[in-house]
């Protein structure tokens, strides 16, 4: 695996890269540039490159609720999977969530990405809820990092 570089989405160019990865990995829930711009106001978005090539993106939602639950989502383009990039993106997201004081960590996976569900479960996440958003036909699954794996 070549070294992964993770950059904060702090301009429109990186936002468009983030959107490209998101929409390719989750084609059933594509986002517009305006929707990504809005997400940047409430979440930390990142893009990842290996050897200068875009390989993925991630989202970290800040802790909410009494439980202090943050959400960490890592997405890797299909041609770059199983090379360790998802693990590195996930670890980076966990660090950001912990810096924000997250007591618990969740993730969400689209039913259109079964490899993502397998990835989350392999890292100690357990299913909390599967649901359909209004008008959707592909479900999303929320998972929470099990206490034993949170260390």
Domains and CATH numbers, the chain: 4-149 (3.40.630.30)
148: pLDDT strictly greater than 70:
no
**pLDDT of the residue at 112:** 84
Residues 6+ apart with CB under 8 A from 18: 9, 36, 45, 46, 47, 57
- Can you say whether the dihedral through the CA atoms of 17, 130, 121, 105 is positive or negative? positive
pTM, entire model: 0.90
Q: What is the pLDDT of residues 22-33, one digit of tens each?
A: 999 999 889 999
Q: In what order do the strands lie in the sheet with 125-131?
A: 4-8, 44-50, 53-64, 69-76, 104-110, 140-145, 125-131
Q: What is the pLDDT of residues 57-89, one digit of tens each?
A: 999 999 988 889 999 999 999 999 999 999 999
Q: Read off the pLDDT of each residue in 103-119 and give the average, rounded to a whole number.
A: 91
**pLDDT of the residue at 29:** 87
Q: What mean pLDDT, rounded, does the chain reach? A: 92
- The share of the chain scoring above pLDDT 90, in percent, equals 80
């Amino acid at each position: 695996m070549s070294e992964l570089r993770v950059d904060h989405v702090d301009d429109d160019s990186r936002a468009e890269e983030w959107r490209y990865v998101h929409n390719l990995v989750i084609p059933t829930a594509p986002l517009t540039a305006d929707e990504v711009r809005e997400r940047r106001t409430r979440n930390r978005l990142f893009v990842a490159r290996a050897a200068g090539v875009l390989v993925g993106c991630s989202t970290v939602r800040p802790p909410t609720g009494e439980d202090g639950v943050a959400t960490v989502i890592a997405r890797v383009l299909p041609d770059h999977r199983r090379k360790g990039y998802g693990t590195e993106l996930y670890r980076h997201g966990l660090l950001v969530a912990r810096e924000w004081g997250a007591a618990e960590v969740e993730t969400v996976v689209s039913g259109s990405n079964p490899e993502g569900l397998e990835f989350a479960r392999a890292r100690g996440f357990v299913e909390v809820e599967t649901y359909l958003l209004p008008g959707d036909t592909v479900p999303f699954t929320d998972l929470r990092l099990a206490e034993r794996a949170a260390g």
